[in-house]
Amino acid sequence: MVKKNTCIFISGNGSNLKNLISKSREYNFPINIKLVICNNKTARGILYAKKYSIPYLIINTNDRNYENIIFNALRKYKVNFICLAGYMRIISSNFIKKFRKIIINIHPSLLPKFKGLNTFSRVLKNNECKTGCTVHYVNDQLDSGKIINKKIFFINKNDNENSLKKKTQRLEHLAFPEAIIKMFRYN
Ligand code: GRF
């Protein structure tokens, strides 16, 4: 199997990055992580790139030129697949057009419900009985591309934002690799 040369974009803790790194080391998992891009120099997730000797690039999104900087790095590592794993910055439509390959994202709600930020507080405020996570293709509309995989759990009366986050992340660590397998394993 030819593995996809993959770049993971992060901004924070990197638990999804860590999980994908460990999956990618399985011989039949369809991606090789060639590069990590991070827009936050204090992000904990960078430690995983360091620990597993994966090249990483910290970018400053205030730099007018930052998308070109990303492009050059993607070209250098022959990246043909991008996973957004907690990347807290909108990808421009220009970027999507120029990259021309697949970009996917993981979102902590059952899309199309609760696009955007602060999902857990909105889920609670709305008295939802269930929530979960969604892996989807990235297009030029926020959290709106075609859905690849979803995982659901039921909310109980003792749940709060923290517990929802923990339960959602546990499911994310299943949903993201599953989505990637679904996309590529039999291609
Ligand atoms: C995840 O909950 C993801 O759904 C959201 O950002 C969070 C990233 O977590 N987009 P981590 O950095 O992978 O731990």
Please name the residue whose Cα sits nearest to atom 14 of ligand 1.
15
Structural contact between residues 119 and 109, judged by C-beta atoms closer than 8 angstroms? yes
Query: Which residues lie across from 35 on neighbouring strands?
Result: 7
- Residue 5 phi, psi (nearest 5): -75, 110
Please name the residue whose Cα sits nearest to atom 2 of ligand 1.
108
Measured in angstroms, how far is the CA atom of residue 16 from the centroid of ligand 1? 7
The pTM assigned to this predicted structure is 0.96
Whole-angstrom distance, CA of residue 38 vs CA of residue 173 = 19
| Average pLDDT for 125-132 | 98
Measured in angstroms, how far is the CA atom of residue 121 from the centroid of ligand 1? 15
Structural contact between residues 120 and 161, judged by C-beta atoms closer than 8 angstroms? yes
Residue 107: half-sphere exposure toward Cβ, Cα within 13 Å = 29
Of the chain, the percentage scoring pLDDT greater than 70 comes to 99
Please name the residue whose Cα sits nearest to atom 10 of ligand 1.
86
Q: Tens of pLDDT along 81-103?
A: 999 999 999 999 999 999 999 99
What pLDDT score does 1 carry?
A: 82
Measured in angstroms, how far is the CA atom of residue 69 from the centroid of ligand 1? 24
Residue-averaged pLDDT of the chain: 96
What pLDDT score does 187 carry?
A: 52
Q: Tens of pLDDT along 73-85?
A: 999 999 999 999 9
Q: Tens of pLDDT along 17-54?
A: 999 999 999 999 999 999 999 999 999 999 999 999 99
User: Is 173 a catalytic site residue?
Assistant: no
Structural contact between residues 39 and 89, judged by C-beta atoms closer than 8 angstroms? yes
